[in-house]
């Protein structure tokens, strides 16, 4: 198997689009070698725990209403071209994502991490749900088969918050400045929401190398 580490934030629209594009490539290669693991990166690490109103957030981040419209117009166009359904009008608040990242971490321990990330994207970008709300996170966990009572107990505590912040800090120290960021085989870094064709090439190269290695046989001691 080939490790594919994905650094992302569940409120990042380019992460949602990037995952959809990767998924399209993986569907064409059901025997792909990737073992996927998701890692935390908070777009807004200083966001108040209660989040903030969506309009206020966008206008502050992009220098006013016109800037926000321009940026999200480009994102909406890319989403449509990628076959990704988004409903930005349904999003009323921009949440703090520390608890969502904790849930993604716990989902990894349960073996359903990618499924949970998918549901978080859907909850936020398609249904406009506040993914900082513990009730929402418990619902999302339940939808992928994780014990909701266990998640409720964990969310009520500060379990793994420092760990998430530490992993976020580590990514930044390693040079990650934006997401999505994909790391292939602990070596090759791919930045941004790459098209499915790029992933087709990567998967084909991996398969060709594996076939060549098999043909050459084991390396002599």
Q: Does an H or E element contain 60, and which?
A: helix 54-61
What residue spans define the domains of the chain? 2-216
Residues 6+ apart with CB under 8 A from 95: 11, 47, 51, 124, 130, 131, 132, 133
Distance CA 50, CA 39 (A): 22
Selected from 3.50.50.60, 3.40.30.10, 1.10.220.10, 3.30.70.2740, the CATH number assigned to the domain covering 2-216 reads 3.40.30.10
Q: Enumerate residue ranges in the chain where pLDDT < 70.
A: 218-221
Structure tokens at 12: 């990042």
| Cβ-based burial of 71 (10 A; exposed 0-12, middle 13-18, buried ≥19) | middle
Distance CA 95, CA 207 (A): 40
What confidence score (pLDDT) does residue 213 get? Answer: 81
3-state per-residue secondary structure call for 65-102: HHHHHHHHHHHHHHHHHCCCCCCHHHCCEECCCHHHHH
What confidence score (pLDDT) does residue 215 get? Answer: 81
Closest to 93 (Cα-Cα) out of 128, 49, 120, 136? 128
Confidence (pTM): 0.94
Question: Contact, 71 vs 13, CB < 8 A?
Answer: no
Q: Which residues pair with 188 in a beta bridge?
A: 184
Q: Which residues pair with 94 in a beta bridge?
A: 52
């Amino acid at each position: 198997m080939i490790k594919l580490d994905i650094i992302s934030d569940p409120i990042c629209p380019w992460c949602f689009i990037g995952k959809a594009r990767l998924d399209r490539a993986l569907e064409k290669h059901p025997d792909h070698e990737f073992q996927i693991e998701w890692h935390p990166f908070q777009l807004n690490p200083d966001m108040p725990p209660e989040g903030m109103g969506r309009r206020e957030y966008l206008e502050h981040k992009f220098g006013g209403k016109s800037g926000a419209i321009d940026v999200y117009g480009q994102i909406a166009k890319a989403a449509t071209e990628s076959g990704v359904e988004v409903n930005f009008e349904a999003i009323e608040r921009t949440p703090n994502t520390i608890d969502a990242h904790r849930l993604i971490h716990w989902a990894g321990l349960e073996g359903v991490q990618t499924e949970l990330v998918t549901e978080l994207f859907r909850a936020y970008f398609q249904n406009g749900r506040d993914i900082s709300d513990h009730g929402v996170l418990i619902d999302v966990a339940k939808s992928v088969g994780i014990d909701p009572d266990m998640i409720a107990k964990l969310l009520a505590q500060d379990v793994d918050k420092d760990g998430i912040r530490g992993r976020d800090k580590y990514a930044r120290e390693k040079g990650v400045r934006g997401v999505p960021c994909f790391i292939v085989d602990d070596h090759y870094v791919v930045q941004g929401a790459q098209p499915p064709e790029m992933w087709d090439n990567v998967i084909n190269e991996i398969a060709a190398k594996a076939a060549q290695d098999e043909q050459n046989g084991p390396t002599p001691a």
